[in-house]
């Protein structure tokens, strides 16, 4: 395994909050068993992105795609996350970190949410 996807969420004090992100990770593990799938959180939950990056780098992962699981693109997605990813690039120069757009910017998700709202 040389590729990884990290689903990145904000985090919450409520442990149940992480269930949807972990459900997406489980689906990815089923459909893409050749890709390392991890979840990481900005705050209030473990693991954080630096811990996940350290684990992936130590296991020989060459490329990491970080997917922000945010519907809205606020300060965390615009400022905090890019700074964290830049620091990881400097810390692990042998790993290619790619930062995807937040899922809330994807028209496919917006179409699905609209369909769900319609019932």
Residue 37 belongs to a domain with what CATH number? 3.40.50.1400
> Does residue 90 come out as left (phi exceeding 0), alpha (psi in the -120 to 50 range) or beta?
alpha
Domain count, the chain: 1
- The range of the structural domain enclosing residue 78 comes to 3-118
**Statement: the pTM of the whole predicted model exceeds 0.85:** yes
Q: 23-48 pLDDT, tens per residue?
A: 999 999 999 999 999 999 999 999 99
In whole angstroms, what is the distance from residue 12 CA to residue 2 CA? 30
Q: Please name the residue ranges forming H helices in 59-118.
A: 75, 81-91, 107-118
Q: Does residue 1 carry a pLDDT above 70?
A: yes
Q: 73-110 pLDDT, tens per residue?
A: 777 677 789 999 999 999 999 999 999 999 999 999 99
């Amino acid at each position: 395994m040389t590729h990884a996807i990290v689903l990145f969420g904000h985090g919450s004090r409520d442990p149940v909050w992480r269930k949807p992100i972990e459900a997406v990770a489980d689906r990815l593990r089923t459909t893409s068993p050749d890709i390392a799938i991890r979840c990481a959180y900005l705050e209030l939950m473990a693991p954080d992105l630096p811990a996940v990056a350290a684990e992936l780098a130590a296991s020989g992962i060459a490329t990491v795609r970080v997917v922000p699981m945010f519907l809205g693109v606020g300060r965390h997605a615009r400022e905090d996350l890019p700074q964290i990813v830049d620091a990881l690039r400097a810390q692990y120069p042998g790993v290619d970190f790619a930062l995807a757009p937040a899922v809330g910017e994807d028209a496919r998700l917006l179409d699905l949410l609209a369909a769900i709202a319609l019932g």
